[in-house]
Structure 1
Amino acid sequence: MALGWKLVIDSANASALADFWAAALEYEVEDPSALVERLLAAGRIDENAIVEHGGRRTFRGYAAIRHPEDPFDETSGVGRGRRLLFQDVPEGKSGKNRLHIDVHGEPGGLDALVARLEGLGATRVQEVDKGPAGRWWLMRDPEGNEFCAA
């Protein structure tokens, strides 16, 4: 049986980076506000553990996005399918990512995809042309994490 998984990405501002990647991938930002309220009411967490972002209460230093067609727990907002979790860490990015995301657009739509990603806050780094294998852009998200747009 295949195991469940999520990709965890270290960040400086989990909520902002989740917003970027949700828009870039056309995913949904998870809404844990009902879970936050239940934990606050039960005294399991205090106000220092939460932050308001996008008009809702969420966990400080954590944010997640999920594919809009995948199942999720309606009580907690946590996705049960394709999911990225962003967590704040104290240290900054220090080198090249060993794992990265490739974002694929429509056939023949690379220029439009790159322009859309730039509009969301991404930066072009280098165009790569592999002849018959195709062309793509090495890009960086707003926190400097490398990814490819193809």
Structure 2
Amino acid sequence: MAALDWKLVVDTRNATALADFWAMALGYEVEDNSALISRLLAAGRLPEEAVAEHNGVRVFRGFAAIRHPLDPYDEETGIGRGRRVLFQDVPESKTAKNRLHIDVRSGPDGPEATAARLESLGATRVEEVDKGPAGRWTVMRDPEGNEFCVA
């Protein structure tokens, strides 16, 4: 069996804002789907109410995605073909602990500097975990309260 492609999907209250946070946090790029949106609008395949503007660019209302800057992407649609996270707005707020989360490997300055940089972007620290030989990490929350770890 061949390996399957995948993307991580995160439910949000503000997809574009959370995509901006995670793009800055991970050094990823926010996907630019404006050319695709323009083609779909012109062909009558997308209603104008399904479109919003964010940072001067047309976006799909309630959706935003980020991709690794070195991974391939479709130049006609802006959609990544590699490591990718899609954010989608949902009506309900987060109410419980995540069952799945992102582990962020710290940059060359180490975990403390990485955690501090993420705090400056809007993340908050939850706790420091020290499991001895099993590892140490910092549990954090993104601006919408989704837990993630920095090691």
Q: Scaled by the length of structure 1, what TM-score is found?
A: 0.97
Does residue 70 (structure 1) correspond to residue 71 (structure 2)? The answer is yes
Q: Which residue of 2 aligns with 1:18?
A: 19
Q: 1:127 to 1:40 in 2, by over 3 A?
A: same
- Count of residue pairs brought into register by the alignment: 150
Report the secondary structure of 2:127's partner residue. strand
Distance 2:73 2:54 in 1: 20
User: What fraction of aligned residue pairs are identical, expressed as a percent?
Assistant: 72
Q: Give 1:114's aligned residue.
A: 115
- Per the TM alignment, residue 20 of structure 1 is displaced from its structure 2 partner at its CA by 0.4
Q: Determine if the alignment matches structure 1 residue 136 to structure 2 residue 146.
A: no
For 2:135 and 2:8, the matched residues in 1 are separated by 27
Cα offsets for 1:88-137 (capped at 9, x unmatched):
00011010000000001136611100100001100000011112233211
Q: State the match for 1:100 in structure 2.
A: 101
The code of the aligned residue for 1:50 comes to: V
Two-structure CA RMSD over aligned residues (Å): 1.0
Q: Could you state the TM-score of these two structures normalised by the residue count of structure 2?
A: 0.96
**CA distance in structure 2 between the aligned counterparts of 1:86 and 1:109, rounded to whole angstroms:** 28
Greater shift in the superposed pair: 107-116 or 43-52: 107-116
Counterpart Cα distance in 2 of 1:109 and 1:149: 10
Cα distance in structure 2, aligned partners of 1:95 and 1:132: 29
Which one is further off, 23-32 or 102-111? 102-111
Moved over 4 A (4+): none
Q: Give the whole-Å Cα distance in 2 for the aligned partners of 1:133 and 1:95.
A: 26
How far apart, in 1, do the equivalents of 2:125 and 2:4 lie?
Answer: 35
SS in 1 for 2:11: strand
Q: CA deviation at 1:4?
A: 1.0
CA distance in 1, matches of 2:47, 2:102: 35
Q: 1:30 & 1:83 partners in 2: Cα distance?
A: 9
User: 1:65 aligns to what SS in structure 2?
Assistant: strand
Counterpart Cα distance in 2 of 1:140 and 1:24: 12
- 2-structure distance, mates of 1:10, 1:52: 20
Q: Could you tell me which amino acid in structure 2 is paired with residue 135 of structure 1?
A: R
Unaligned ranges ≥5, structure 1: none
Alignment-mate amino acid for residue 103 of structure 1:
V
